[in-house]
Structure formats: C-alpha cells, structure tokens
Structure 1
Amino acid sequence: MILTDTHTHLYSESFDEDRDQMIQRALDLGIKRFFIPAIDSTYNQGMFDLKQRYPEYVHLMTGLHPTHVKENYDQELEVVKNLLKQGSFVAVGEIGIDLYWDKTFLKQQQFAFREQIKLAKQYQLPIVIHCRDAFDEVFEILEEEKGKDLFGIFHCFTGTFEQAKLAISYQMKLGIGGVSTFKNGKIDQFLDQIEISNIVLETDSPYLAPVPYRGKRNESAYLIEVAARLAALYQIPIEQVAQITTDNSKQVFGV
C-alpha cells in the first residue's frame, strides 16, 4: 500500500528536532510520496535540502503563499519566475487568497494569484490553491482563468457541497486532510457524494492534525488517519483509498 501526502511542509521549523525520524515514521506506514508546497523565498533552501536528502520521495512546488504577499511581493514573484526557468517543479503552489489573517493586501494577493496561474499555464503545471475566508474571491479568478490548461488541487478544502462541485468544474481535485476527521468539520457530511476520483489526501503538516491528534503537531504519518476516515465514508478498504488517491495525485502532478 502506497499513500501520497499531496501537501506537507516537511521543511517547517516544527520538525527541526526530529525531521528524519518523522519522515521515517511516514515511510514505515507506506506514505512514500511527499509533495512540498512553497511559502516564500526564505524557505527555498530548506526545500532544496529536503529534495537532496530524499530525492526518491520528495517533490517540490514553487510559489508565493497568499499570507506572505507583502510590500515585496513583486520581488518574491520574480524569484518564482526564475526558479521555474531553471528548476524542475511539479506545481505552482501554494497560491491563492487568504482573508482570515489580514485584508490589507487583498489587491496584491489577487494580482499574485493571477500571475502565478499564468506561470503555471506557461509551464503546463498544476496549481495548488490556498483559500481561507475567500471562496468568492478565489472562484472569481478561477472563472476568469478557466480552460483546458487550468487544473490542480484545491488544498485543504473546507467548503460546501456546492463549492466542492464548483471547484471540480475548474478541474481541481479536492485536497482532503485532518478536517475530515473533526466532529465540526462538515465536509464529512457530503464527501461520499463526491466521486473519489476527485479526491487527493494531504496532511498540511505541521498544521491541522487529524483526530486523535487534534491540537498537536501534525506530521505526514498521520495521513493514515485521513485515509481510514475516507475508507469509512466511502465504505471501501483503506488499500483502495490509497490506490485511488495516489493515482489521482499522479494524474495531477505527472509523477
């Protein structure tokens, strides 16, 4: 059984004390594919180090995270452009709009999101979307940019059934993680009405640990809890969840 964590921040400072052991715990459980989203240029070296240490298992994205769109966003976008020219990345992400923490840079976030979608299209890459308190704003831009060359993952999907169907209509898979195990997570109420061909698994570690680890540091090994939750919701064996969602991730990322 091979499981794929389509969204894990393995370079996070939260893992500085036990990174190798944490990754080994995941590998021991059959989680052998780790897709690493970017935040901003300050994290790039940590990502490159990870790829060098685990070339067989680790796949890198590049992009500017919406919460890191600040006064210097144009310089950060230049870094992303230059990396795409010279590197082999599997996606542009995570990108999108976040209005939970701060609305000051909404216009800049919208600009950065559009620009990075265009870059993804240019390099024929998927996008990985971050959306928090901004479904309308994200869907507005996806509507503008929709087409055969727009595809990817709607990371950490926490929307309604209608929003799930809309995201899928833009050729997005739904990234499902720890929220699916929460009592108040809501997405578990309709997830089985979504074809599992539209689902990929993720942890977003070190954030959003699933039950029974909720409130603690998340790690990729806990993906097994998410897979078990989906197996219960779809009433299929966990091995089948692993196979289908890994195949779905290959369809998106091409690896």
Structure 2
Amino acid sequence: MKVVRRVTQLAETFLDSHLHLQMDEFEFEKKKEDYISTLRENDVRILNIVGYDLESSEKSFNIKFPDDFEVYHFVGIHPHYALKYKNEEILEIEKLLERKDCTGLGEIGIDLFWHKSDEIENQKELFIKQLDIARRKKKPVMLHVRNGYDEVLEIIEGYKDLVFEFHSFSGTKEQLEIIFSKKYFFGINGILTFKNNDLKEILNKKHLARMLIETDSPYLTPVPFRGKRNTPEKVIYIYKRVSELFGIDIKDLKRIIRENFYEFIGKKS
C-alpha cells in the first residue's frame, strides 16, 4: 500500500527537470532539512540534478533526499570548458554514466553567446566526444545551446538513435518547429515569466507534447522573484505561467510534464 500511495502522490507533484542543487551556494548539506521542508510544502518532489563539469557531476550524487522524492542525475561537460577539459575527464564522465543512479548525459552542447566563434571547433569536438559516449551507453542527452541551434541540429542528425532535450530553449520559431517535428524535447524556465521575452509569441498549445519545465536554479529566477537566487520550489511559478498561457489546468499540466520527462529518460509512467 505504501508503494501505491507514493506513486499516486508523485503523479500529482511538480517536477523540476533541470537544476544545479550541488552548487556550493546552495549549501545543501547545511540547509538540507530546510530545502526538503520547502519542497514538500510546495509539492515539488521530482528533481533532475544536472552536472556541467566533472566535479559538479560527481557532487550531484551526494545530494540525497527521502523516499518520498524522485531524484535523477545527469552528468556532462558544458561547452564553457571546451578549451579547458582533459581527455581523462571524458573517461570519468563515461564511468559515471555506468552508475545505476545516473540517468543521462548533460548538459552538453554549443554556446556561441558567451564564447568567441573561433572556439566553435573546440566546442564541437567536446560535444561529439560526449555524444559518442551517450550512444555507447544508450543514454538520453540534455543539451545546452545558445546562439548555436543550427550547428547543434546539424550535428545531432547523425545521432538519430539518441533522445534529446534542448534545455532552456531560447531559439527562433523556425528552430522550435524543427525541434518539435523531430520529436526532440525542449525546456521552458523563468524566462517565460519575464516581461520582455519572445517565447510567449512562438509557443502554442501543441508544443506541450514535447515540453519540460525547469528552474535552471540558481539561475533565471522567475517573476516575481527576479533579482534573488533561484531555488527549485519556484518552478511552480513557471507551471502557473504555462497554465495561464494555454488555458490548461495545473493538474493536467503536471501530468503532461511528468509523462514527457519519463518518456525522455525512458521510464514507464
């Protein structure tokens, strides 16, 4: 009976598909009980903790929650480290992917917003090395893309056997339609709540079929908390904005996002 009740409870909870709770600024071990209490109060109990380099990927497995939570782990090396990473780190990422509690690879990709275009070959090299690992390990891939959508879409055409999610989508309407037509997933976060954002103009109700909802905490804090550090319970404000935008009941939206996430990671609902 306890198992049935837990499944029922989690079927009604909010899910945060991308956060970085292992970052030092969260001081998770020191404030663990406060975080757990706040997440329970807000009914946010499915969490996906994402790495961005070897250290953060390893540290994510130290984040422990009680049994009434579902916690997933993605590991990978962000394009920011394309000029800094060592091949030994790639090998260690591959080892982490062999863990039973490791869900997928990410966040990886191409970022031409913060980085000079002359770095793109280094970023592509790092990206492809990790995609090859995902293929060998048969793992889903969470993508980080800024100003590099065309490049990433071209590269992943060669990996049709993999499942992809474009975390923190910020591309064009045309790029979103390509992502949707290819049945890739994409993540929406606090950007949707900002006064000046293009997302609300290019999203429509059909896109719910491939959408995930995330905080990307501690970044991209949603309205009405802009200027403060983002935390995972604030994901509820993104759900509320999506609910308002498409006229969909929150309970139904929770179900859709949960089912999308489970499909992305290859888990049965």
TM-score scaled by structure 1? 0.91
Identify the match of residue 7 of structure 1 among 11, 14, 18. Answer: 18
What letter is aligned with 1:61? F
Measured in 2, the distance between the counterparts of 1:162 and 1:45 equals 36
Does residue 243 of the first structure (1) align with residue 255 of the second (2)? yes
Return the letter of the residue paired with 1:74. N
Tell me the alpha carbon deviations over residues 92-126 of structure 1, each in whole angstroms, 9 at most, x when there is no partner.
10000112222253212101211212222222211
| Range 14-23 or range 155-164, more displaced | 14-23
Count of aligned residue pairs for this structure pair = 252
Task: Map 1:78-227; keep pairs closer than 5 Å.
Answer: 78-103=91-116, 105-145=119-159, 147=160, 149-227=161-239
Q: Provide the C-alpha distance between the structure 1 equivalents of 2:74 and 2:57, rounded to a whole number of angstroms.
A: 10
Question: Whole-Å Cα distance in 2 between the matches of residues 132 and 249 of structure 1?
Answer: 22
Counterpart contact for 2:222–2:237, Cα < 8 Å: yes
Q: Equivalent pairs: percent with the same residue?
A: 31
Residue identity matched to 2:15: T
Name structure 2 gaps, 5 residues minimum.
1-11
Q: Which residue of 2 aligns with 1:254?
A: 266
SS of 2:115 mapped into structure 1: coil
Matching residue within 63, 83, 92 for 1:70? 83
Larger-gyration structure (1/2): 2
Give the Cα separation in 1 of the matches to 2:127 and 2:136. 14
The superposition leaves residues 29-52 of structure 1 with CA deviations (integer Å, 9 ceiling, x where unpaired) of 1211111111112224421210x4
String of CA shifts for 1:54-90, please: whole Å, max 9, x gaps: 5642111111111122333422211112222345411
Distance 1:66 1:27, change over 3 A: farther
Larger RCO (CA under 8 A, 6+ residues apart): 1
**1:3–1:242 Cα contact (<8 Å) kept:** yes
Judge conservation of contact 1:97–1:110 (CA < 8 Å) in 2.
yes
Kept after mapping to 2: 8 A contact 1:6/1:200: yes
- Residue ranges of structure 1 left out of the alignment (5+ in a row): none
Could you state the TM-score of these two structures normalised by the residue count of structure 2?
0.87
Distance 1:229 1:92 in 2: 28
Q: Structure 1: how far apart are the matches of 2:72 and 2:25? A: 20
